[in-house]
Amino acid sequence: MSENEGKAIQVPEQEVITKDEMERTRERQCYVPKTDIYETEQDIMVIADIPGASKESIEITLEKDILSINAFANPVFHEGFKLAYSEYEPGDYQRSFRIATEIDHDKIEATVINGELRLRLPKAEAAKARKIQVKAG
């Protein structure tokens, strides 16, 4: 990852959810949050960019092997000001992942700092133990 250091940031393209399996009740733009996923020996880390969504608005569910992230950003209004120029539209975030590894549901940790959601999904003991060492005979 270190080769990114010092490089100029390009404008990321925002992917908008236009059609979904379910109709949305909120008349807001809904984005697919930019997400990194990596796996260490103990955990699966899911890191998503959700600028504008407060800590209280984030809903994370893990049902069977489907991890769903829902985050809601409230519309921004500045009293006495009018929006003169706009390059982005604040919106909600929604994304689901299928997690292939068994996860210890009780030890999932989620933190959000500066619009960055970090999910730590510890692998279940059973999944870790399933690794079979091959001994050279």
Partner 1 sequence: MYRRFRVPSIWREMDQLQREMNRLMKSSLEPRYIGPRSFPAINVWTSDDRQIITAELPGFDAEDIGINVSADLLVLSGERRSDQIDGEMQLHRQERTFGKFSRSIQLPFMVDTNKVQANFKDGVLEVYLTRAEADNPKKIEIKVV
For tokens 């689901």, the residue is 96
Q: Which stretch binds partner 1 (CB under 8 A): 20-28, 59-67, 103-111, 114-122?
A: 114-122
- Residues 38-72 as b/e (b if ≥16 CB within 10 A, e otherwise) read eeeeebbebebbbebbeeebbeeeeeeeebebbbb
Residues 88-107, mask of contacts with partner 1 (x by CB under 8 A): xxx-----------------
| CA dist 22 → 9, 18, 82, 94 (Å) | 34, 11, 34, 12
Which range touches partner 1 (CB under 8 A), out of 2-10, 60-68, 103-111, 122-130?
A: 2-10
37 touches partner 1 (CB under 8 A): yes
Site track 53-72 with partner 1 (rule: CB under 8 A), x = hit: xxx-----------------
Distance CA 66, CA 85 (A): 39
Q: Is the dihedral of CA 2, 124, 96, 86 positive or negative?
A: negative
Give the total of residues touching partner 1 (CB under 8 A).
Answer: 45
Nearer to partner 1, 11 or 22 (CB): 11
- Which residues sit at the interface with partner 1, rule CB under 8 A? 1-2, 4-12, 34-41, 47, 49-55, 73, 76, 78, 80-90, 112, 114-116
